[in-house]
Structure 1
Amino acid sequence: MRKKILIAISLFILIGISACLYIYKGHRDIESETADYVVTVNELEKEFASNDSLANIKYQDKTIELTAPVTSIDKAGNGIVMSEKIFVTFKNGLPQNIISGKSLKIKGRFLGYDELLQEFKIDQSSVVH
């Protein structure tokens, strides 16, 4: 009986430690990751237009890199809009050297397509030089 209680307690502690390690695992550093996909805005649009379910599976939570012109800057929201179709937020604040109308290369985590606003969402972005 005593042996069964010790085994049960040991198992309970092991499960608790495993759960804590899983829940509180380290955060991703998107800036240091290699991009899973280097895409263009047109490629994203075509893939989502042809089959949005497959495109979501392919890109969701992946690191992507893309180059597109900046169409507007949202200082309050810490983000920019690129090619009037991609809303990008930055991890470490809005970079100072962003100019509306100029092309910019960014790397970030792809969140998905917002059908209501008809734009792609990318967060934790950084400017690639």
Structure 2
Amino acid sequence: MKKTLIIPLLAISFVGLSSYYYVMHGGSRDLKSETASYCVSSSDIASEFTANLDNSNKKYLEKAVAITGTITKLQDSLVTLDHSIICVLKNPDSQIKKNQTVVIKGRVVGYDDLLGELKLDQCFISK
């Protein structure tokens, strides 16, 4: 009787843990080795999302992009380019400064049309 309960319980536990691991770690990519699908300025990509959200989502969402812009806000691992592009750095870079023009490569994860902010994750400063 114990064996008939233990085997299904172990199988369910394995599936649950595997699912959890996939959700938490399965979407991570190595963007440094990927070629950017698009190289754009922060003003150009922000204008595209403002003009047509659906087309911009189809074009950029989940893609690696390289965005050129000026750092307007810097807080730990968050970098804001030109007040409208929010980038979450994978590894914070102590050498970057506010008002510095940089190229940031990252994955587009979404656009907040209420705040007018484009969000990227897994970002790093391209040198």
TM-score range, shorter chain: 0.7 to 0.9
**Deviating more after overlay: 110-119 vs 83-92:** 110-119
| Unaligned residue ranges in structure 2 (runs of 5+) | 1-17
- Give the TM-score normalised by the residue count of structure 2: 0.75
1:45 to partner: Cα distance: 2.5
| Partner residue in 1 for 2:33 | 32
Query: 97, 100, 103: which one pairs with 1:105?
Result: 103
For 2:111 and 2:87, locate their aligned partners in 1 and report how far apart those are by CA, in whole Å: 12
Deviation per CA, 1:21-77, whole angstroms, max 9, x where unpaired?
A: xx84573111211000001122212322321101011100000001111001112xx
CA contact (8 A) 2:46 2:84 kept: no
CA contact (8 A) 1:91 1:126 kept: yes
1:115 to partner: Cα distance: 1.8
CA contact (8 A) 2:50 2:116 kept: no
For 1:112 and 1:88, locate their aligned partners in 2 and report how far apart those are by CA, in whole Å: 11
Q: Say how many residue pairs are matched.
A: 107
Identity, % of aligned positions: 34
| Unaligned residue ranges in structure 1 (runs of 5+) | 1-19
- Give the TM-score normalised by the residue count of structure 1: 0.74
RMSD of aligned Cα (Å): 2.1
Which 4+ runs in 1 deviate beyond 3 A?
A: 23-27
Mapping of residues 1-129 of structure 1, within 5 Å: 24=22, 27-75=28-76, 78-92=77-91, 94-129=92-127
CA contact (8 A) 1:105 1:128 kept: yes
